[in-house]
């Protein structure tokens, strides 16, 4: 894009969608928001922080189950993860409830009839403040399994053991929108058009 538009400077800020949403609400200088979940985008839209006419569903991802090298518990699917959690003999890494990957994981646990709060109280769940922290726990082997995005598994060289269905956790949509406070709305919209092309 910078070859096509050399006069446009792109500055990126990467973090969990919840953290980015909070930064935007607190006045961070930002032109375009790309969220890992519609929830944060909808919250900003309700508060008039985005230009609704610019909002698009830009990408789709998948929620996957990963395990560390060795996989001592032989966790090969979400079904087997649920069985291990019911038996109380596993440690699962998942995102906090304020980040999309944690929200998707919570839906998966509910789909299996599992109570996240009880599992956490029993010491069967450890949390990450973003998906990268969950990936780190899996790669370090400090947990038996983790729930992350397919793209993060690919980036970390982890082979997914299973992929959550839409029935289990919904569609994983990444919406994007130009912010109402943007000082460069035309340039932001042009970049968003480029990303969606």
pLDDT in tens, 75-112: 999 999 999 999 999 999 999 998 889 999 999 999 99
Give the pairing type, strands 145-149 and 92-95: parallel
Of 36 and 193, the structure prediction assigns the larger pLDDT to 193
* Cβ-Cβ contacts under 8 Å for 112 (sequence gap 6 or more): 78, 82, 85
pLDDT band at 70 (very low <50, low <70, confident <90, very high): confident
pLDDT at 33 over 90: yes
Give the torsion sign (CA, 145, 151, 154, 155). Answer: negative
pLDDT of residue 37: 87
How far apart are the C-alpha atoms of 187 and 134, rounded to whole Å? 35
pLDDT in tens, 132-186: 999 999 999 999 999 999 999 999 999 999 999 999 999 999 999 999 999 999 9
DSSP sequence for 53-86: GG-EEEEEE-EEEE--TT-TT---SHHHHHHHHH
pLDDT of residue 145: 97
pLDDT in tens, 5-28: 999 999 999 988 889 999 999 999
pLDDT of residue 98: 85
pLDDT of residue 180: 97
pLDDT of residue 36: 87
* Cβ-Cβ contacts under 8 Å for 22 (sequence gap 6 or more): none
């Amino acid at each position: 894009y910078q070859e096509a538009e050399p006069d446009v400077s792109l500055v990126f800020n990467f973090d969990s969608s919840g953290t980015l949403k909070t930064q935007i609400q607190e006045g961070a200088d930002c032109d375009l928001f790309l969220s890992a979940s519609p929830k944060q985008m909808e919250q900003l839209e309700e508060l008039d922080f985005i230009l609704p006419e610019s909002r698009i569903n830009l990408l789709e991802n998948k929620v996957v189950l990963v395990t560390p090298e060795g996989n001592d518990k032989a966790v090969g699917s979400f079904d087997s993860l649920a069985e291990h959690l019911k038996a109380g003999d596993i440690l699962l890494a998942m995102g906090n409830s304020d980040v999309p990957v944690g929200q998707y994981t919570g839906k998966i646990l509910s789909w299996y009839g599992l109570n996240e709060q009880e599992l956490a109280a029993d010491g069967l769940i450890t949390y990450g403040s973003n998906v990268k922290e969950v990936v780190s726990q899996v790669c370090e082997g400090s947990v038996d399994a983790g729930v992350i995005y397919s793209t993060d598994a690919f980036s970390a060289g982890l082979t997914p053991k299973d992929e959550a269905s839409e029935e289990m956790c919904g569609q994983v949509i990444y919406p994007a929108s130009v912010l109402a406070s943007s000082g460069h709305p035309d340039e932001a919209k042009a970049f968003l058009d480029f990303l969606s092309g």
